[in-house]
């Protein structure tokens, strides 16, 4: 086993026996092999597109396959065995379509060199797949140039994040073929030995640009279906009555659960990254939506124990469940844990069937144990913030607001993440924090006040909603007549954990944003030489001591 795709990877070098996330070496190996298979499918899909041939089911298999390997999504080895075996059929299908088209066009057989990932076969038994996996892991070729390995993995990790956004958008009926095409082209590029360090670096940068398009696509999908998030005070207390908790990111699942639970008289609470759902106008029509329960994903063990009712995990952020609530835990979509009940996917457009969850909630009959009380301000996505730009402009020019701090990203278990709480507390009162993602749980319940009615913490939503701050930054650039975001009174201090945060970082770099602080540690998958290039080209910085970083940012550094 070797995995270094998340921020908490062991020693900031790599997990080699068991993942800090909880995945076994077996699951890690099968994930490596699934990615290898997806590269093979992408080889043929890219060739097919050159001849005008495409297959949407193949495209989505690649996207979902990538998403399934994001940190804290799926820990079930049997699911990965099934996906790998399905990959053979997907590869065979797109390969045959390409070969038939090639023969018609060129009147001859295709005889170019084919990489192993695009041709290998297996009995499909787990034991054989695990044996093959030994040959395709990140460190399987010890002679590979360190910087080339770094860039290939940087690329794959970025594509995993991009795939998450594409999958969410697709579920809501939004898709763009050019984005599917890029994912497959870029995956295929990682197995092309003719692509050296320079070429792969170009792919990494381009992935930021394409990732930005994927973020915009998802924003359009969410707001088209559910309206633009609006400023909302969310209840963080509890209510009597049977209850269900949903954690994750998927809004379609949330909609279908609310519909079905409403008829049964069951209360529904959001958790973790589902918190922003409370700000969408569409969801406010549900009387059974109580509010948000708990905090960031890594506290789920203690919080799920106290919830009492059933819990649904609909995307990443699952941690190894405790026996005290495993019987009340459900997964759905790409999420999985061995032995945990799973809600099946939609069939022919029909909603998912959440009746087993609702039945359990009614049988348990009681509401959750109260963790806290009060309300929390959310709903400050780009549509809301851009409507106040005139006011913001006047406040900046009058000196009432002197600085914006973008503190988006992920939360995690490391004690070093207390940095973000301390920073939020020390940021001057004439400054505004722009946030999204679960990083906000480090400071969103602090009493940081307002500036002329504008909360000092503006929460745009999920990590999926980080696109909002790129829109706002672009609008501010226009208003102040600046040449770039780098000329504005904005500093970026980003917390990262998993692969969706990596594609956000990529998007920022593709826009030329400089002096980004990144923490708690820099990615282990970035080699010293590649890091040196990022520092020289983008002035990317590791976080340091709070006081030193704050002083530097206030000075524009």
> What does the DSSP 8-state code read for residue 207?
H
Q: What is the pLDDT of residue 129?
A: 98
Intervals of the chain under pLDDT 70: none
Find tokens 């501010």 and name the residue: 476
Does the model's pTM come out above 0.85?
yes
Q: What is the pLDDT of residue 479?
A: 87
Q: What is the pLDDT of residue 197?
A: 97
Is the separation of the CB atoms in 407 and 493 below 8 Å?
yes
Q: What is the pLDDT of residue 432?
A: 96
Q: Give the Cα separation of 345 and 328 in Å (integer).
A: 19
Q: What is the pLDDT of residue 64?
A: 98
pLDDT tens for residues 398-416? 999 999 999 999 999 999 9
Residues in the chain: 557
What number of other Cβ atoms are within 10 A of residue 457's Cβ? Answer: 24
pLDDT tens for residues 68-116? 999 999 999 999 999 999 999 999 999 999 999 999 999 999 999 999 9
411 contact partners, CB below 8 Å, separation of at least 6: 296, 297, 298, 417, 437, 438, 439, 440, 441, 442, 495, 497
Strands 517-519 and 490-495: parallel
């Amino acid at each position: 086993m070797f995995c270094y795709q998340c921020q908490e990877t062991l020693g900031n070098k790599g997990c080699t026996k068991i993942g800090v996330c909880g995945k076994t070496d077996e699951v890690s190996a099968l994930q490596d092999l699934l990615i290898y298979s997806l590269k093979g499918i992408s080889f043929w899909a890219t060739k097919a597109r050159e001849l005008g041939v495409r297959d949407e089911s193949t495209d989505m298999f690649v996207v979902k396959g990538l998403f399934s390997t994001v940190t804290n999504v799926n820990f079930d080895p049997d699911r990965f065995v099934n996906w790998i075996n399905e990959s053979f059929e997907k590869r065979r299908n797109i390969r045959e379509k390409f070969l038939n088209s090639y023969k018609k066009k060129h009147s001859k057989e295709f005889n170019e060199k084919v990489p192993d990932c695009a041709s290998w076969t297996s009995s499909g038994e787990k034991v054989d797949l695990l044996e093959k996996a030994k040959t395709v892991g990140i460190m399987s070729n010890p002679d590979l140039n360190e910087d080339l390995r770094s860039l290939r993995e940087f690329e794959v990790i970025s594509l995993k994040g991009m795939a998450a956004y594409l999958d969410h958008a697709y579920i809501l009926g939004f898709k763009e073929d050019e984005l599917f095409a890029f994912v497959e082209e870029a995956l295929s590029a990682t197995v092309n030995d003719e692509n050296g360090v320079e070429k792969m670096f170009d792919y990494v940068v381009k992935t930021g640009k394409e990732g930005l398009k994927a973020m915009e696509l998802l924003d359009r999908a969410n707001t088209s279906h559910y309206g633009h998030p609006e400023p909302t005070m969310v209840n963080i207390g509890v209510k009597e009555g049977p209850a269900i908790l949903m954690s994750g990111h998927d809004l379609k699942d949330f909609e279908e659960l609310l519909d079905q639970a409403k008829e049964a008289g069951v209360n529904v609470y959001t958790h973790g990254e589902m918190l922003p759902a409370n700000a969408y106008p569409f969801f406010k029509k549900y009387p059974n939506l109580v509010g948000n329960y708990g905090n960031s994903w890594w506290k789920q063990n203690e919080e799920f124990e106290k919830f009492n009712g059933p819990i649904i995990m609909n995307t990443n952020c699952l941690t190894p469940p405790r026996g005290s609530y495993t019987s009340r835990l459900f997964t759905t979509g790409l999420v999985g844990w061995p032995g945990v009940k799973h809600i099946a996917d939609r069939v022919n457009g029909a909603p998912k069937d959440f009746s087993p969850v609702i039945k359990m909630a009614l049988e348990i009959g009681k509401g959750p144990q109260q963790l806290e009380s009060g309300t929390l301000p959310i709903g400050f996505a780009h549509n809301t913030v851009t409507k106040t730009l005139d006011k913001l402009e006047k406040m900046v020019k009058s000196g009432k607001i002197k600085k914006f701090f973008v503190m988006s990203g992920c939360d995690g278990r490391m004690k070093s993440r207390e940095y973000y709480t301390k920073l939020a507390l020390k940021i001057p009162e004439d400054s505004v924090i722009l946030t999204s993602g679960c990083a906000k749980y480090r400071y969103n319940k602090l009493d940081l006040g307002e500036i002329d009615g504008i909360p000092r913490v503006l929460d745009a939503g999920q990590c999926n909603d980080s696109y909002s701050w790129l829109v706002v930054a672009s609008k501010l650039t226009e208003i102040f007549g600046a040449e770039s975001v780098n000329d504005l009174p904005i500093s970026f201090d980003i917390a990262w954990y998993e692969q969706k945060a990596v594609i956000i970082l990529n998007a920022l770099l593709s826009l030329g944003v400089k002096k980004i602080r990144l923490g708690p540690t820099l990615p282990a998958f970035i080699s010293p030489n590649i890091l040196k290039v990022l520092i020289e080209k983008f002035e990317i910085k590791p976080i340091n001591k709070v006081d030193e970083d704050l002083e530097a940012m206030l000075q524009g550094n």
